[in-house]
Amino acid sequence: MLFEHAKIMRALAAVGEIVGRKKLQKMIYIAKKMKFPFYEKFDFHFYGPYSEELTLRIEELCNVGFLQEMKEKKGGYYQYRYALTEAGEQFLTHYHLDMPDLDVCLRSLNEQSARFLELVSTILYFEDLSKDEVKEKVFTLKSKQRYTEEEVEEAYRYIEQLREQAYIKS
């Protein structure tokens, strides 16, 4: 019943802590696009791909005490930190989750900024379009982020690197 919840917990166990709701959403979305077995449905929202299902699962995991959500004031907004609790770690021992190389992927993602992951996830969301069309989407939909051509190229290189890691080791 809680198998999909356990996968999210496994993701948090892999990195220890994720800072930011947006970052958590982008990390799971990107891992899903790298063919890791996450099945939450994502739609395109203001900050890129977003899953209401993932938000609800995170909320449920916090409510049952398996995840800790720490809210901290950062300037004019609140930032959230997520980590597995001891009860969550114990619960996770009941599930054998065969997700090879997920740790490597998620650690790499967690080292990136939320802004960069927003760009990467946006590119992946529109990956069925040509590169020029994707760039047009990025520069139009993400105009407030002021992404540069260089950042877009860096994001494409990063996606390729993630795919190589996922396919070489699988």
Residue range 48-87, pLDDT digits in tens: 999 999 999 999 999 999 999 999 988 888 899 999 999 9
Percent of the chain with pLDDT over 70: 96
Please check the confidence at residue 5 and state whether its pLDDT lies above 50: yes
Res. 1 pLDDT band, cuts 50 70 90: low
Structure confidence by residue, pLDDT tens digits, 92-103:
998 888 776 888
Task: Decide: 103 and 34 in contact? Cβ < 8 Å.
Answer: no
Res. 42 pLDDT band, cuts 50 70 90: very high
Amino acid letter, residue 16: G
Percent of the chain with pLDDT over 90: 82
pLDDT at res. 167: 65
User: Does the global pTM surpass 0.85?
Assistant: yes
Distances 134 to 24, 130, 131 between C-alpha atoms, Å: 23, 6, 5
Beta-bridge mates of residue 18: 82
Tokens coding 116:
């960069």
Task: Decide: 84 and 9 in contact? Cβ < 8 Å.
Answer: yes
- Report the number of distinct structural domains present in the chain: 1
Q: State mean pLDDT over 125-138.
A: 97
Q: Strand, coil or helix: what is 48? A: strand
For residue 158, what are the domain limits? Answer: 1-168
Q: Select from 137, 134, 159, 152 the least CA-distant residue to 35.
A: 159
Residues in the chain: 170
Please check the confidence at residue 44 and state whether its pLDDT lies above 50: yes
